[in-house]
């Protein structure tokens, strides 16, 4: 039960990190939910896989690792999208800035992948 609670807290932290501002352009703030669509979808798929690992417990260690990798890919893709946006802003004169949410999402995704997989392994060991 303790490891399931820790896993749930880690999973909720991934959602919180996705909801914190990632970038600002001309006063408009973008969070993970509305940042760069193709890459934010991988993060959302990772969140959903984490929920499946939490509730259904179908191959939870593997699902957690895959979810963590998808979340990391989502953050890296968002950084690539931000780099393109920043490059284009030099031509248009727009003001862009990166916010703390993208870094937090990257760190939380790594912690979630490693600690979540450990918690899943401990949940399986306690269950049997």
Q: What is the pLDDT along the chain (128 residues), one digit of tens a residue?
A: 788 899 899 999 999 988 888 888 888 888 877 766 677 788 888 989 988 888 887 788 899 999 999 999 988 888 888 888 888 888 888 888 888 888 898 999 999 999 998 988 887 766 65
**Sequence-distant (≥ 6) Cβ neighbours of residue 93 within 8 angstroms:** none
Q: Which helix (H) or strand (E) is 99 found in, with range?
A: none
Q: Where are the domains of the chain?
A: 2-127
Confidence (pLDDT) at 120: 84
Confidence (pLDDT) at 88: 86
Instruction: Report the Cα–Cα distance between both ends of the chain, in Å, rounded.
Output: 13
Exposed e or buried b for every residue in 52-84, given b needs 16+ CB within 10 A? ebbeeeeebbebbbbbbebbbbbbebbbebbee
Confidence (pLDDT) at 72: 92
């Amino acid at each position: 039960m303790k490891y399931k609670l820790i896993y749930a807290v880690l999973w909720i932290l991934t959602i919180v990190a996705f909801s914190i501002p990632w970038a600002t352009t001309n006063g408009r703030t973008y969070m993970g939910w509305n940042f760069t669509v193709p890459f934010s979808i991988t993060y959302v798929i990772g969140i959903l896989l984490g929920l499946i690992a939490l509730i259904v417990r179908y191959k939870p260690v593997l699902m957690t690792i895959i979810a963590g990798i998808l979340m990391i890919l989502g953050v890296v893709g968002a950084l690539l999208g931000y780099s393109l946006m920043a490059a284009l802003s030099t031509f248009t004169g727009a003001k862009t800035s990166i916010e703390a949410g993208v870094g937090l999402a990257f760190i939380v995704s790594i912690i979630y992948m490693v600690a979540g997989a450990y918690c899943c392994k401990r949940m399986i060991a306690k269950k049997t």
